[in-house]
Amino acid sequence: MSPLELTKYGHACVRIEHHDTTLVIDPGLFTEPEAVAGADALLITHEHFDHFTEEQVRAALAANPGLRIWTNGAVAEQLTGLGAAVTVVGDGDAFDVGGIDVSVHGEWHAEIHRDAPAVKNIGFRLAGGRLFHPGDALTVPEHPVDTLLLPLAGPWNKIGELVDYVREVRPARVLGIHDAVLSEIGRQIGARWLGEEHGPGTGAPYAFLQPGESVLLDAV
């Protein structure tokens, strides 16, 4: 397969383009509206507003009736009336969008607090492992991953767990996402800990893309 182009948008959202196919993962409240323009498919990991807003998805479908959405049952329940445009998927499922194979991994959002209700969450592995987006979880796919999208900051994670997660997944490289709550100083601190020069070491090079910045995802 020829390279995929990944463009990072606000917070946890990425746009994947390959030939004539465009996939967008997790456009949420902190995501620029243009991220979903002209997309063929939306992949949504879970229901939290920083990954999904009903209004944005319905507006995108109204603008593009051919848009298709793959997500879990909790998100699908908020998208009633959209019929065949929405497909519910879960751990172990697989599908194809315009020649890009997608497999689904995981079931639960990482625990924020033992007293908080558990939330469903799925991760998406694309193009034979070229990319894995875990959503808000530290799910380890059963098969290799070239590029791991790493959630940098949220009420449920800490840097030591991220280092260990990268070590367990063993990707060829790591791109930081889920950063809306971080200052620029916070991003630099995260990069220091996740980098190979100053951090404890993860075995994979780390990089952070600014919103609108792109990178080619070839086999590495």
Longest dimension (CA), the chain: 52
In angstroms, rounded to a whole number, what is the distance separating the alpha carbons of residues 182 and 131? 23
CA distances from 77 to 47, 117, 122 (A): 10, 17, 15
Indicate the average pLDDT of the chain: 95
2: confidence class by pLDDT, cuts 50, 70, 90: confident
For residue 78, pLDDT over 60 is answered with yes
CB 65 within 8 A of CB 86: no
Per-residue model confidence as pLDDT tens digits over 35-50: 999 999 999 999 999 9
CA distances from 146 to 127, 143, 220 (A): 10, 10, 6
220: confidence class by pLDDT, cuts 50, 70, 90: very low
Per-residue model confidence as pLDDT tens digits over 133-187: 999 999 999 999 999 999 999 999 999 999 999 999 999 999 999 999 999 999 9
Write down the pTM of the prediction. Answer: 0.96
Q: Which CATH architecture has domain 4-204?
A: 4-Layer Sandwich (3.60)
Residues 6 or more apart whose Cβ sits within 8 Å of residue 158: none
Percentage of residues in the chain with pLDDT exceeding 90? 95
For residue 10, pLDDT over 70 is answered with yes
Helix, strand and coil percent figures for the chain, each rounded to 5: 20, 30, 50
For residue 84, pLDDT over 90 is answered with yes
219: confidence class by pLDDT, cuts 50, 70, 90: low
